[in-house]
Every structure is written in structure tokens, then in C-alpha cells.
């Protein structure tokens, strides 16, 4: 693999930026990687662990001379960051982002960017329940998808260069329209996260009744919800506020279905329940066949450990 | 470890029975293990792989001379199986079960058991998304909890012997009242499973709109729901029908909370969302500290693979 961008600037130094930096180094994709984070503490940690080649004290300094600038901040902060870096952007540079919502980010970022700068939004579908500058690892994106959302009239060379970067990082790439992206992600990610957060909150309320039993016996299913519900609170607040309509639509459908299943439980309609559960089991097989998970039994996590 | 029961009979030969047989052999806890399954196909597979020492063609034959009989069938089948084996039970034998619901199982099983037989219900909190005679493994219960639910006036020697068996199998044991067990499990297991089934069903409906994208991009959170929603349909139908009141109560609270969060999204109340998500993150730490899961980042499952 050879250098794709001479200089890459990462704005925000959390899980995604850190993992990108490590993966770019692994494959030698960037000449120099600069970085900036708003928090002085994050910048200090990033310097100590050598997360990027050079940690800058301002966003403008970080983007100076950069061929690619990637905004790795929560969705709600994208607009302000774009306004901040705009004066420092090199003509011909590409600006991209890693936000989990695309329409709102495009509306927040695009107006601030000067002519002659290419804006190519993207969203790598990868993450863990950890966050912060110490949480990154080079393999995070291996085999995962990165959705690229080119704008009308986008410079194809700029799009293809970013595409090559993500492939070099280890991801598979795909192009999609912003609104369609936001709907698909509402189903596969945003609604499931809100549901997991809700169930964990309910258990917490009840936990005061049942002492620590909810935690002690969490391995029976609840544990997987807590993993999802341990994700970064700021990131997720911004996702819901910025993909509001699609998320609420999916949650509306979810509630409808849940009521139908509750009714089946109340009336003792075992056939309805059995048919429903058989259908959902088939979807799991589809995911394994699509290579998006392994078939290893996981509820008993210690197997083979 | 030495032999705890000279002869153990397992009725039902799925994931739990298979794993119990392997774990009992690993520790030398049983002199002989017999087994029975209603399906001839399951019995054939069990014979081929040597799941137990002797696979019998009737349940009565399997329990003959057994010191411990463990009912490892779906909750809805417990009563009929108890009636079937009753005439063959040895005086002084212990009958136990592994059902995920305790009150309904006790009501279904106890009336069939003859005097002089000890009934000690139990529930090992362990499982995977796989089922059937090929899905067991000896390590399934290692470090997991097994809840024992002794009845009023239970023979303490019989309870303690079963307790010793589960500890020999690798589990930690605890005693609990049946109704309390059913409420705790509704929170930690039954409601989360129904919610996961529901979300996967919704995605399946939408999948016809968005083609295979829901599966392709499942790694963003949805994937963990499909793992839960791939569990055995018959087992789960019976759980919901037999722990109806507690499950419906928890689902009612869940819906209330979900509506409050939906309202926060609709009105743009970011503070409410952020505070809620911060609280749920703390619960995750509690589970890790309680040793019920590891802190390894798991969303990007391929790390270190």
C-alpha cells in the first residue's frame, strides 16, 4: 500500500479517530497525521501515547496544509467545527466526517466550506462500547462497512481517493444517498440503541427493588443490552436529535409490534409467538451468511477462554 | 471431585442437557447418565455422538433406578413429562428441572410426583443462541449462576446434594423464592428477549423495503439483537406464556420509559437524553465489576481474531 494523502488531519481524537490513525499507519496510507481535540486532557493523552504524529492546540493549526480533514466529533458539534476550520483549509483539500447521521451533518457542514474544497461525507459502521483517546485499535474497521455519501456534483476523483483510503484502512465501501442512509441506520442502529438504553434504564429503576440481582443475573440476555447502552452518551444524544424523524418512525413501528406481541402473551396465543420467533431466527442466519457476525455461541462468553 | 449421584437421568436432550452431561463427565459427578428425548431424530443424534451413556426409547425407562432426574424440556412440556415419568421414579429420588420460569413449573410438576420423591426446582442462567443435541459444551455453566428454588418443607439433604452437583458442574449457586425468581428473570431475560424479537421483526418488515441492507449493515447494533432473537422459539413461547404477569408488568414499564425518551427526542430535550444515557453507562460498569462480562470491546468482534 502506498501513501494516499500526504497529510491527514483528524479533528476529534476519540475511538474512531484513534483507530483510523492506527489503521492508516499500519498500511502506510498517510505521510503525516495531525490531530486536534477540544479537551486539553484528551490532547495530553494523545501526545503521551503518540496517537498521531503531531497534536495541535487549535483546529486551524491541525488542518493547515492537510489534503484530507476528517471530522471525528459528535454529530451536534460538526457545524461549529466546520466553521472553525474553514479559514485554514487548503484549496483542493477534501473534508470528510464519520458521523452516524448524514443529512443533518451535510446541512450543518456544507455551508461553511469554501469553494474549491471537496466535501465527501462518510460513515464507517464500526465502533465499540468504549470511547476516548485510549480506546482505538487498528483492526476496528477490518471487514466492516464504510458508507460514502457523495453530494450532487461531487468531484469523482476526490470521492474515489477517500474510497481508496477506507479500503486501505480495512473497510468495505459502499455509496448511498443521505436520506436512505439515515433510514437504514435508524433500523440497524439508532432504534436498537434507544431500545437498549430504555431497557437498561427500566432495570436500573427496578434494581433498587431487587438489590444487585439484576446485575448478578444479567447474563441471561440483559447483559447484551448493557453493552450497547454503555456507548458514548454525547454521541448518542446527538444522533437521536439529528436523525429524529427516521428514528421516531421506526420506534413507532416497534411499539406497534410490541403491543401485538404483548397482546398474544396476554391472550395466550402461542402460535402467534412461535411463528414470530421462528421468523426472527431466520434473519440471524442471514447475518451470519453475509459475514457480519460469526456463528460461535456467544451467550456463554467464556467458551474456549 | 467424586460421584454425587450414581445414576442421573436427563429428560430432553438439547443444549442444557448436553452441556450438563459433558460437565458431569468432566468432573466425574455421575456414575451413569441416561437420557431420553421425545424426537427419534434427537435420540439418534445423541446416540451417534455419545451424548449420554445410554439413550432410552421411553422416559420411564430412562428414569428407572435414577437417583436424580432432570427435566430439560420446554417449560410448557414439564407437566406432561412429569406425569409420564412418575410411575418409574425410584423412592427417595430427586426430581429437578432447568426451566426459565419457576412458579408455573412447580404448579405443573409437583402434583404428579409420588410421595417420597424430592422435588428441587432449579434454573441455570446460561445458554447460547443455539439449540439441539449438537449444541452442548462442557464449559457452558462455568462461572454462571444456577438458582435453586427449594419448596416449603424441602429435604435439606436433597437440596444440598443438588447444590453440590451444580457447583461440580462449574456454576455458582444461589437459593431464591419462585415468585421472586420469576420477577428478576422477567427483568434480566424475558423482557429483553421479547424486545429483541420485536426489533428484529420490525427490521424484517422493513427489510423488504431496503433489500438486504438491514443485514449488510447489521453490525451497528442490530446484530446483537439478532443474536438474542435467534434463541429457540418453542422454549421462548413457553417462557412468555408461563411468566405472563411479570413479563407484561416489565414491558409496561419499558413502554412508559420509551415514550418518555421518544418525547425527549421529539421536543429536542438533549439534557434528558444525555442524563439518561450517562446513567445506563454506569450499570455496564457494575456488570463488569460483578464478573458477569468482560470489558473487551465487542462491537468490532474481530479484534485479536
What proportion of chain B, given as a percentage, has pLDDT over 90?
A: 77
Contact A15, A135 (CB under 8 A): yes
- Reported as a pLDDT band with limits 50, 70 and 90, residue B171 is very high
B289 contact partners, CB below 8 Å, separation of at least 6: none
**Is B166 within 8 Å of B20 (Cβ atoms)?**
no
Same domain? A185 vs A270: yes
- Residues of B within 8 A of A193 (CB-CB) are 221
Instruction: Please judge whether A281 and B229 are an interchain contact, meaning their C-beta atoms are less than 8 angstroms apart.
Output: yes
Question: What's the pLDDT at A6?
Answer: 98
pLDDT < 70 stretches in chain A: 1, 207-211, 220, 297-305
For residue B125, which phi and psi values (nearest 5 degrees)? -90, 75
Cβ-Cβ pairs closer than 8 A, A with B, add up to 368
CATH code, domain with B241: 1.10.3660.10
Q: How far apart are CA A9 and CA A32, in angstroms?
A: 8
Mean pLDDT of chain B: 92
Task: Please give the helix or strand (H or E) that residue B145 lies within, else none.
Answer: strand B145-148
What residues of chain B lie within 8 A of the CB of A148, using their CB?
Answer: none
Residues A29 and A68 in one domain: yes
Q: How far apart are the CA of A198 and the nearest CA of chain B, in angstroms? A: 6
CA of A109: how far to CAs of A70, A88, A114, A177, in Å? 12, 15, 11, 17
Asked whether residue A79 is domain-assigned, the answer is yes
What are B265's three cell numbers?
A: 427526542
Q: Which residues of A touch B221 (CB under 8 A)?
A: 188-190, 192-193, 196, 228
- Taking the whole predicted model, whether its pTM rises above 0.95 is answered as no
Same domain, B12 and B129: yes
Q: Which of A140, A145, A262 minimises the CB distance to B300?
A: A140
Compare CB distances from A144 to B129, B212, B219 and report the shortest one's residue. B219
Question: Among A142, A176, A210, which residue terminates a domain?
Answer: A176
Q: Do A227 and B128 touch (CB under 8 A)?
A: no
pLDDT band with cut points at 50, 70 and 90 for residue B49 = very high
Cross-strand pairs, A90: none
Nearest residue of A to residue B220, measured between CA atoms? A189
Beta-bridge mates of residue B10? B35, B70
CB under 8 Å, gap of 24 or more: what pairs does B174-178 form?
A: B174/B145, B174/B146, B174/B147, B174/B148, B175/B147, B175/B148, B175/B149, B175/B150, B176/B147, B176/B148, B176/B149, B177/B149, B178/B102, B178/B103, B178/B106, B178/B121, B178/B149
Do A195 and A48 lie in one domain? The reply is no
Asked if B192 and A224 come within 8 Å (Cβ–Cβ), the reply is yes
Q: Can you give the pLDDT at residue A208?
A: 59
State residue A160's pLDDT score: 98
Consecutive H or E run containing A163 = helix A156-169
How many angstroms separate the CA atoms of A67 and A9, rounded? 8
Which of B221, B235, B261 to mutate to test binding with chain A, by most A CBs within 10 Å of its CB? B221
The answer on A140 and A228 residing in a single domain is no
H helix intervals, chain B = 15-27, 40-49, 59-63, 78-85, 103-109, 156-169, 178-185, 191-207, 213-216, 222-228, 233-242, 244-267, 270-289
DSSP letters of A36-53? Answer: E-SSHHHHHHHHHHT-SS
Please state at what angle helix B156-169 crosses helix B15-27, rounded to 10 degrees.
Answer: 90
Q: Which of A76, A102, A142, A199 to mutate to test the interface with B (most CBs of B within 10 A)?
A: A199
Length of chain A: 305
pLDDT in tens, B85-129: 999 999 999 999 999 999 999 999 999 999 999 999 999 998 888
- pLDDT band of residue B305 (cuts 50, 70, 90) is very low
Nearest to B241 among A183, A268, A290 (CB): A268
- The residue of chain B with its CA nearest to that of A144 is B219
| B184 to chain A: closest CA residue | A214
Closest CA to A101 of A252, A235, A229: A235
Strand order, beta sheet including B122-124:
B122-124, B145-148, B172-175
Q: Which of A120, A116, A115 is nearest to A99 (CA)?
A: A120
Q: Are residues B217 and B280 in the same domain?
A: yes
A29 and A155 housed in the same domain: yes
CA of A171: which chain B residue's CA is closest?
Answer: B300
CATH code, B114: 3.40.50.720
DSSP string, A57-113: SSHHHHHTT-SEEEE-S-GGGHHHHHHHHGGGPPTT-EEEE--S-SHHHHHHHGGGS
Pull the grid cell for residue B208.
Answer: 423488504
Do A293 and B223 lie within an 8 Å CB cutoff? yes
Residue among B265, B278, B299 whose CB faces A129 most closely? B299
Q: Note whether A145 contacts B222, CB cutoff 8 Å.
A: no
Optimal mutation site among B191, B217, B248, interface A, most CBs of chain A within 10 A: B217
CB distance B270–A225 less than 8 Å? no
- Do A118 and A171 sit in the same domain of this protein? yes
- Burial per residue of A94-129, b for 16 or more beta-carbon CB atoms within 10 angstroms, e otherwise: bbbbbbbbbbbbbebbeebbeeebbbbbbbbbbbbb
Q: How far does B181 lie from chain A, in Å, by closest CA? A: 10
**Is A304 among the domain residues?**
no
Tell me whether residue B298 is in a domain: no
Chain A: give the shortest CA distance to residue B67, in Å.
Answer: 29
Note whether residue A297 is domain-resident.
Answer: no
The answer to whether residue A295 sits within a structural domain is no
Smallest CA–CA separation between B287 and chain A, in Å? Answer: 5
Contact B189 A278 (CB under 8 A): no
Of B139, B185, B304, the CB nearest to A303: B139
Please tell me whether residues B115 and B226 are part of one structural domain.
no
Rounded to the nearest angstrom, the minimum Cα separation between A177 and chain B is 13
Cα B116 to chain center, whole Å? Answer: 28
Quote the CA–CA distance of A24 and A113 in Å, as a whole number: 25
Answer yes or no: do B136 and B12 share one domain. Answer: yes
Contacts of B286 in chain A (CB under 8 A): 212, 215
Q: Which of A190, A201, A231 lies at the smallest CB-CB distance from B279?
A: A201
Q: How many domains does chain A have?
A: 2
pLDDT (0 to 100) of residue B304: 36
Contact in structure between B84 and B108 (CB atoms under 8 Å): no
A301 in a domain, yes or no? no
- Does B214 lie in the same domain as B263? yes
Same domain for B24 and B150? yes
Q: What's the pLDDT tens digit per position in B132-168?
A: 999 999 999 999 999 999 999 999 999 999 999 999 9
Query: Domain range for residue B74?
Result: 5-176
Residue A302: predicted pLDDT:
47
Model confidence at B303: pLDDT above 90:
no
β-pairing, B122-124 vs B145-148, is antiparallel
Establish if B42 belongs to a structural domain: yes
* A303 falls within a domain: no
Amino acid at each position: 500500500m502506498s501513501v494516499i494523502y500526504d497529510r491527514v488531519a483528524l479533528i476529534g481524537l476519540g475511538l474512531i479517530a484513534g483507530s483510523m490513525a492506527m489503521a492508516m499507519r499500519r498500511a502506510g496510507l498517510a505521510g503525516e497525521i495531525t490531530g486536534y481535540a477540544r479537551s486539553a486532557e484528551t490532547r495530553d493523552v494523545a501526545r503521551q501515547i503518540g496517537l498521531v504524529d503531531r497534536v495541535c492546540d487549535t483546529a486551524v493549526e491541525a488542518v493547515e496544509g492537510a489534503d484530507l480533514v476528517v471530522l471525528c466529533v459528535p454529530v451536534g458539534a460538526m457545524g461549529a467545527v466546520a466553521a472553525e476550520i474553514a479559514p485554514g483549509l487548503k484549496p483542493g483539500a477534501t473534508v470528510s466526517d464519520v458521523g452516524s447521521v448524514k443529512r443533518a451533518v451535510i446541512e450543518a457542514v456544507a455551508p461553511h466550506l469554501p469553494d474549491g474544497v471537496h466535501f465527501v461525507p462518510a460513515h464507517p459502521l464500526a465502533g465499540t462500547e468504549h470511547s476516548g483517546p485510549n480506546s482505538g485499535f487498528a483492526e476496528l474497521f477490518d471487514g466492516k462497512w464504510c458508507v460514502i455519501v457523495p453530494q450532487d456534483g461531487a468531484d469523482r476523483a476526490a470521492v474515489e481517493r477517500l474510497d481508496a483510503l477506507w479500503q486501505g484502512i480495512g473497510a468495505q465501501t459502499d455509496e448511498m444517498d443521505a436520506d436512505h442512509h439515515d433510514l437504514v441506520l435508524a433500523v440497524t442502529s439508532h432504534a436498537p440503541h434507544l431500545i437498549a438504553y430504555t431497557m437498561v434504564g427500566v432495570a436500573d429503576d427496578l434494581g433498587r427493588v431487587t438489590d444487585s440481582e439484576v446485575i448478578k443475573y444479567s447474563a441471561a440476555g440483559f447483559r447484551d443490552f448493557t453493552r450497547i447502552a454503555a456507548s458514548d452518551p454525547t454521541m448518542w444524544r446527538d444522533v437521536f436529535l439529528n436523525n429524529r424523524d427516521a428514528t421516531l418512525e421506526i420506534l413507532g413501528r416497534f411499539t406497534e409490534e410490541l403491543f401485538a406481541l404483548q397482546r398474544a402473551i396476554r391472550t395466550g396465543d402461542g402460535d402467534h409467538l412461535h411463528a414470530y420467533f421462528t421468523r426472527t431466527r431466520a434473519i440471524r442466519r442471514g447475518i451470519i451468511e453475509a459475514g457480519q457476525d460469526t456463528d460461535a455461541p456467544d451467550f456463554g462468553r467464556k467458551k474456549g477462554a
